[in-house]
Structure formats: C-alpha cells, structure tokens
Amino acid sequence: MPRYRLLIEYDGRPYHGFQAQGELPSIQGSIERAVKGFCGEALRLQAAGRTDAGVHATGQVVHVDLAKAWKAEVVRDALNAHLVPEPIVVLEAAVAPEGWHARFSATRRRYRYRILNRRSPPALDQGRVWHVKKPLDAEAMHAAAQVLVGHHDFTTFRDLACQAKSPMKTLDVAAVRREGEQVLLEFASRSFLHRQVRSMTGSLAEVGTGRWSADDLAAALEARDRKACGPVAPADGLYLSGVEYETT
C-alpha cells in the first residue's frame, strides 16, 4: 500500500481548525472527502501538525495511504479538482520512503507570524494578518526574542488547555524583521505547545510598542506562570510555514 506525502497550503478562516471535528468544517475533513471523491477510499490522514481555528498554512505536510499505486502528479491534480472551491491546495505530492511518517518523522516545524503595522486596516489581507496600528520596533522585538531561544519551561506561553505532558521545549529560532509595512516573526522548533507561538508573538508586540522591555519578556518567561503572558496574538496572522525531515 503506497504512502503519499502531500504538501498542503490553506486559508484557515472557514474552518474550525485542521483536525476533523464531527460535522464541523475542518481542513482534515475536506482533504479526506477529496480522497474519497478521487478514489472511493475512506481513510484518516496523518499530519505534521494540527493548526487551530483561523490559522493558515503554506507548508503543512500530511500523508495518505492509498490502495492503488497512482502516479504522484495524478494524486495531486485529482485532489485539487475535488477540493474546488475550498481554499485548500495540494502543492506537491510524492511517494514517501519506507517507514516515513508525516508527524513522527518530522525534525522541525516552522511558523511565521505576519503583522501589518500601519494606521490603515488591511483590505486584501483581512483575516490573514494581525493589524497593529501603533508603530513597532522590530529590532527591539528581535533582540528580546533571543531570550526565548533554547531549552526552557514555556509555561508562561502555554495555553491552559494544552495537553502536552511537559512545558519544556527547545526553541531553535526566534527572529523578527520588518519588510515595509509588515513585521514578520519566524519561529522554529521540533514541536510547540498549544498557542505557544501566538502567546510569544503577543508578548513580543508589547516589546515592540515600548510597553515591555527585553527584561520584562525575560521575567515573564522565568515566571513560569500563564498570568505573566502578554495579550495573545490573534489567529489571523499565523502560518505553519514548513516542516523539516531528515529523510525526504
């Protein structure tokens, strides 16, 4: 039974998150229906990560096991045809190596957060960026973000409903830069806690506006207390931007 690795892009706004939730619209449910429409198989796909309601992806990875050995480009094109008109696209399809798993073989996940930093609200990017009117100091945000890099107890930046067994995570990358009117935040880790990226982003925005200093962010991390977290950034600007594997 061949396993297909699929690279997925989607707009998370119409869905209640990635994971199938009964009759509620989900990205997983839509892709599984597309598979059934294509080849008649009812299956449960596996994904590298489960994004929350309203969160987007430019680099989600999933796998499906199909009974027939189809050409990879046929799988890609057929699924895209059955996904119309939903905002979900299969960018690439490939036959996966023996033993490869979309979730368990992943060595690093990357998230990007987009902030539109100007007085006027977005017209074309509504629901796809966080609109922050007050000027943000991206350099100060980047400098402060470095205290988050490394192996830490991230309880402060962990949602109360998080089901992870431990708050200990290793953050490999926390970078902030400005590109015109946008402030872009990049995070990379093997795995993340529930709403960790949005929590860190909201606190870094406090640094960017001058309400917090880098020392305040460090103190919040050290507090290991959810109450020490700044406002949580909305789902609008968050993207699962890539998943890395040792074997491709």
CATH number at residue 73: 3.30.70.580
Say whether both 133 and 205 belong to one domain. yes
CA 109 to chain centre: 8
In a domain, residue 101? The reply is no
Q: Is 159 considered catalytic here?
A: no
Say whether both 83 and 133 belong to one domain. no
Full domain range(s) for residue 73: 3-95
CATH number at residue 234: 3.30.70.660
| pLDDT value of position 247 | 57
pLDDT surpasses 90 at 1 = no
| pLDDT value of position 246 | 85
Instruction: Count up the domains in the chain and report the number.
Output: 2
From 52, 125, 137, 159, active-site residue: 52
Say whether both 185 and 84 belong to one domain. no
In a domain, residue 240? The reply is yes
For the whole prediction, is pTM greater than 0.85? yes
Say whether both 33 and 131 belong to one domain. no
Counting Cα atoms < 13 Å in the Cβ hemisphere of 155 gives: 11
CA distance 52 to 161: 13
Q: DSSP for 27-96?
A: HHHHHHHHHHHHH------EES--PPTT-EEEEEEEEEE-SS---HHHHHHHHHHHHTTSSEEEEEEEEP
Condensed to tens digits (0 to 9), the pLDDT of residues 136-188 reads 999 999 999 999 999 999 999 999 999 899 999 999 999 999 999 999 999 99
β-strand pairing of 56-65 with 46-47: antiparallel
